[in-house]
Amino acid sequence: MTWFSKKRTAARERLLWPMFLAFVAGCDKAPPEPVGTSPEPAKAEAEAPEAPAKAPVPSAAPAAPSIPVPKGHRRVTARPVATVPVSPDDPAKGTFTLEEATRGLQGSGELVAEMRTDQGKLECTLFEDRAPITVANFVGLARGLRPWKNPKGEWVKTPAYDGTTFHRVVRGFMVQGGDPTGTGAGNPGYVIPDEIWEGAYHSERGLLCMANRGPNTNAMQFFILDGAAPHLDGGYTIFGKCGPDSVIEKIASTEVQGDRAVNPPKILGVTIRRKSK
C-alpha cells in the first residue's frame, strides 16, 4: 500500500469512528413511542385551560382504561353529536331536555322504563349519562311531554308508545317497535342526532337502540336486540338495556311473514320511574 493510500484510509477511519460510537450508544435506548396511539392528544392540550403565571403544574390524571372490544366487533369510539335540521312547525323548536322529560319524577336513582306488553313486562334501564338527548326524547314521548305529530298530522302531547306494537321481528337479531302506524314508516315530525359513545357495542340481547333511516335520522322507533349484532356498531344509538331475556325471547318468537309479525306483540303502556338509591 502506498503512502497516499495509507493516509486516505486513516482519514476515512477517523470520519467513521464517531458515527460507529453513536450507533452503538443508540442501540441501548428504547424505541420511540408510535405517533397517534393516544386519542386526540393535540385537541386535549388545546382545550386545557392555561395555567396562571408561576403556578405549579399539576400532574396529569391517569388515562381511563379502554373498554375491551368484544370478540367479533371493531373498536367504537365516541363521536361528536351532529346538528340536525329543525322541523319548522315543531312546537319544541327541536329542543327537548332531560330535565323537561323527567320533571316531576320522584327519587334519584337509575332512570327506568317499564314496558308492559301482552307477552310480559320489560324493565329497561336508560343510559341518561351516555345518550341524554335520546333518553330525553324517549322519556318525553313515553310520558306525553314531548310534542309529536300523530298519524293524522296533528301535533299532540300524549303518551306516544301506549297501544303500539313490535311490528318487525327477526328472531336472533332484534324486535322493532314504537311506530303508531304499525307500518315502520311512522315518524313524530322531527329527528334527533345519533349519540355514539365510547364502547357502544351491539354485543348482547336486551340492548335498547334507536331505529333510523340513516345517520342522524332518529325519531321515535326503537329496537331491542335479541342477540349480538356487530354490523350495527357505530351506526345506531344504544340508550338502554332491557330484560328479562325470557320476555325478549317470547316477543322474538312471534310468527312472522318475512320480518313482519303476523300478530304483532302489543305495547300496552310505558311507565317511567327512578329507582330508589
In this predicted structure, the answer to whether residue 93 has a pLDDT above a threshold of 90 is yes
DSSP 230: G
The residue to which cell 413511542 is assigned: 33
Assess if residue 269 is contained within a domain: yes
Assess if residue 120 is contained within a domain: yes
Assess if residue 45 is contained within a domain: no
pLDDT at 41: 29
Q: How would residue 40 be classed by pLDDT, with cut points 50, 70 and 90?
A: very low
Question: Do 102 and 267 contact (CB within 8 A), yes or no?
Answer: no
Assess if residue 52 is contained within a domain: no
Q: How would residue 67 be classed by pLDDT, with cut points 50, 70 and 90?
A: confident
Helix, strand, or coil here: 41? helix
Q: What is the pLDDT of residues 127-150, one digit of tens each?
A: 999 999 999 999 999 999 999 999
Closest CA relative to residue 228, chosen from 256, 205, 194: 205
Cα 199 to Cα 96: distance, rounded to the nearest angstrom = 26
Residues facing residue 148 across a β-bridge? 156
CATH number at residue 251: 2.40.100.10
**Residue 255 belongs to domain spanning:** 98-274
Total domain count for the chain?
1
Q: What is the pLDDT of residues 197-229, one digit of tens each?
A: 999 999 999 999 999 999 999 999 999 999 999
Instruction: Tell me the pTM.
Output: 0.77
Assess if residue 77 is contained within a domain: no
The continuous run of DSSP H or E covering 177 comes out as strand 174-179
Cα 145 to Cα 160: distance, rounded to the nearest angstrom = 9
Question: Do 238 and 194 contact (CB within 8 A), yes or no?
Answer: no
Phi/psi at 115 (5° precision) = -105, 110
Identity (one letter) of the amino acid at 42? A
CB atoms within 10 A of CB 199: 18
Helix, strand, or coil here: 56? coil
In this predicted structure, the answer to whether residue 234 has a pLDDT above a threshold of 70 is yes
Helix, strand, or coil here: 132? helix
Assess if residue 238 is contained within a domain: yes
Q: Is the peptide bond before 85 cis (omega within 30 degrees of 0)?
A: no
Assess if residue 169 is contained within a domain: yes
pLDDT at 277: 76
Q: Which residue has the higher pLDDT, 176 or 66?
A: 176
Assess if residue 204 is contained within a domain: yes
